[in-house]
């Protein structure tokens, strides 16, 4: 497997706590990875460092792009911002969509920010919404959509630009369990169908169970990695939260998504 995102000795301190403690981590292209761990263990901090949102105090982060490897930890703010909108996609629990825009405009905005013209952006956005089960709801404002539908809009927004890595932080945290499952299906299938890499922070064992790989954090260190080969420091023995499906499951389930996306 080829590494797409590679972090070495990542360290991040906050006054009075250490959020990341010399973390080594590699994400391979096309993998879906769940990041689990107790509250305050550094999951969000790790995700934000890998995504170029937070700057680590020490350590390096390398993104392998088709042209040349990029060092995120040394990139200037403006370049990082650009990298985030061009190379990455994000699904947060809430807040990344604008309530005054319609569903289709919210998704199209991601493309427009990258310089795509409005007509093309909106038609591609509409294709994505339709593929994620929101056909006919393009012109609705966020307030007129259910929580699960809003998250589908966010999932469409995260991928419409052709992002190679999708970062999700508790994407189903605000949803009931039935809706969570649906949204999760949509996320996993659409990401897999397009060959993207997914990093999802979650508390939900059900979510972790459906990712190809599970990484567990505790006190700012990786204490378990289902991919194996990870140097677990002197910590309690690694115990993955749940069985890990293999890639074929998700890919098969995601087949119906493939045709729709030609990003």
Cβ-based nearer residue to other proteins, 126 or 224: 126
Q: Among the candidate windows 39-47, 81-89, 102-110, 191-199, which touches ligand ATP by CB under 6 A?
A: 39-47
Query: Residues touching other proteins: how many (CB under 8 A)?
Result: 37
Binding to other proteins, residues 161-190 (CB under 8 A): 169-170, 173-174
Q: Give the residue with the Cβ less far from other proteins, 87 or 216.
A: 87
- Pairing state between β 17-28 and 69-71: unpaired
Long-range CB contacts (within 8 A, 24+) of 16-23: 18/219, 18/220, 19/45, 19/220, 20/45, 20/46, 20/49, 20/56, 20/59, 20/220, 21/219, 21/220, 21/221, 22/59, 22/221, 23/59, 23/220, 23/221, 23/222
Interface with ligand ATP: number of residues (CB under 6 A)? 11
Is residue 110 at the binding interface for other proteins, with CB under 8 A as the rule?
yes
In this structure, the number of other CB atoms found within 10 A of the CB of residue 142 comes to: 18
Tokens linked to 92: 């947060």
Q: Does residue 43 interact with ligand ATP by CB under 6 A?
A: yes
**Among the listed residues 44, 64, 81, 179, the single contact to Mg ion using CB under 5 A:** 44
* Contact pattern from residue 44 through residue 73 relative to ligand ATP, giving x for each residue in contact according to CB under 6 A and a dash for the rest: xx----------------------------
């Amino acid at each position: 497997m080829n590494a797409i995102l590679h972090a070495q000795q990542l360290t991040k301190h906050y006054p009075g706590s250490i959020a990341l403690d010399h973390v080594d981590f590699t994400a391979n292209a096309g993998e879906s990875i769940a990041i689990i761990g107790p509250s305050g263990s550094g999951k969000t901090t790790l995700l934000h460092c890998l995504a170029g949102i937070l700057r680590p105090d020490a350590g390096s982060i390398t993104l392998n792009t088709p042209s040349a490897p990029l060092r995120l930890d040394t990139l200037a703010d403006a370049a990082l911002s650009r990298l985030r909108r061009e190379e990455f996609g994000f699904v947060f629990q809430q807040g990344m969509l604008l309530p005054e825009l319609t569903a289709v405009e919210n998704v199209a905005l991601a493309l427009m920010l990258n310089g795509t013209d409005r007509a093309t952006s909106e038609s591609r956005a509409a294709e994505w919404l339709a593929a994620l089960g929101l056909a006919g709801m393009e012109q609705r404002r966020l307030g007129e959509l259910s929580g699960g539908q809003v998250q589908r809009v966010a999932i469409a927004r995260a991928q419409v630009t052709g992002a190679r890595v999708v970062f999700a932080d508790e994407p189903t945290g605000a949803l009931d369990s039935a809706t969570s499952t649906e949204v999760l299906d949509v996320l996993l299938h659409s990401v897999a169908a397009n060959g993207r890499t997914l990093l999802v922070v979650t508390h939900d064992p059900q979510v972790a169970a459906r990712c190809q790989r599970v990484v567990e954090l505790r006190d700012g260190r990786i204490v378990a990695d289902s991919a194996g080969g990870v140097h677990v420091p002197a910590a309690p023995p690694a115990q993955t939260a749940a069985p890990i499906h293999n890639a074929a499951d998700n890919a098969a389930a995601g087949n119906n998504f493939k045709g729709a996306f030609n990003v």
